[in-house]
Structure formats: C-alpha cells, structure tokens
Amino acid sequence: MSNIILDAELRTDLGKGASRRLRHANKMPAIIYGGDAAPISIMFAQNKFFKAQEQEAFYSSILTIKVDGKEEKVIVKAMQRHSHKAIVNHADFLRVDETHVIHTLVPVHFINEDTNAALKAGSIISHNMNTVEVACLPANLPEFIEVDVAALEVGHPIHLTDLVFPEGVTSVELGKGEGHDQAVVSIHAPKVAVATDEDAAEAAAE
C-alpha cells in the first residue's frame, strides 16, 4: 500500500471569502471529519497537493496528513476541482480507525487485453466499471482490483461475482443482494455496415 504523507496547516479564517483569499495565495482549503474527534479545517500548498493527487493511489490509500504536530489517518471522500484550471478548490477527508470497516472506491486494472483473441480479431471491449466500491478494514484496503480479460469472449461479460477480491475485502454492491451483480467488462463484435437498397441502387448506377 502506498505511504502518501501530506503536510497541512490549521485554518482559522473560515467562510467563502477566506477560501477565495487562500486560493489567491496558492493555498487550498480542506476539512477532516469523522471518528470521535471534532472536524478540523486545514489548508495545503496548492502545487504540492495537486501533484500528490495526480497519483492513482491517492484515491485508494490511507493517507497521512500531518497538521499541528499530529498525524491524521484519512481517506478522500470528496474533491472539488476547478472547472478549467489545473487546481483543486476543496477536499473532504474522512478519518479512519484501524478497527472499523471503511467503504471506498478503488480502481479496476484490466490486464492482458493485448493477448485476447476476440480483440485481436477486431472485437470491441467495453469497460463498464472503472472503479468498484469495497468494504474492508483500513489495513486490507487494496490499491486496485485486477481483472484478467485474456480469456474473455464475446457475449460473456465478467461480472462483480467473477472478481477476485483480496482477503478481508468485499464488494459493497454485491452486499446489497440479488440484482446487483453488475457487468464489469464485456466484449462486443464489431458493427458491420449494412447497405440499404438505395445504396445498392446508387452503386449499380455508377
């Protein structure tokens, strides 16, 4: 599991106006909440935070935030990005307790597409899910779930029940009961253009 550590500062100047002033100073406001402790408002250096969050593991790892001489273990719960600038406007972090199960999204990694016979023959792959929501203790949180599509055939999707979850990790969706076994990835035969009678007549007249 990735060991991502972020340095933050406590934030006492709150409100929309204060957040705007922070952003003008290349700072990013955020909040940590959850657990038995009170929520705390914090801020990050925008450039350092943006670089850290570009890592895929940032969103599927237990992060360590150092603030006011203490360390907070958290996961990302929400992120507000600027509509067109390469900055993050605000982030929400949820405290984690190693003894309590967490629910969070982890990315899906599809492997062996280059060896799949159907894809080599021109079929098209559809990644129906790029993330899956899992439930586990923090220590068991995987960075990603791997899906091998080497033997995937046209018309036979891989579903959630086909995935191999690490020990101690379960699918939140499957835990909801029957009817929630969603297709994760599937392969479709390429569409074949069908000439109409009008097209045929035009071709014959040429």
107-162: pLDDT as tens digits: 999 999 999 999 999 999 999 999 999 999 999 999 999 999 999 999 999 999 99
Structure tokens at 95: 């405290």
pLDDT in tens, 83-114: 888 888 899 999 999 999 999 999 999 999 99
Asked whether residue 32 carries a pLDDT value surpassing 90, the answer given is: yes
pTM: 0.80
CA 48 vs. chain centroid, Å, equals 20
Q: Mind listing the domains of the chain with CATH numbers?
A: 5-95 (2.40.240.10), 102-188 (2.170.120.20)
42 or 21: whose pLDDT is higher? 42
Closest CA to 90 of 143, 15, 144: 15
Q: Are 105 and 59 in contact (CB under 8 A)?
A: yes
Using the Cα atoms of residue 89, residue 94, residue 95 and residue 99 in order, give the sign of their dihedral: negative
Q: What is the pLDDT of residue 85?
A: 80
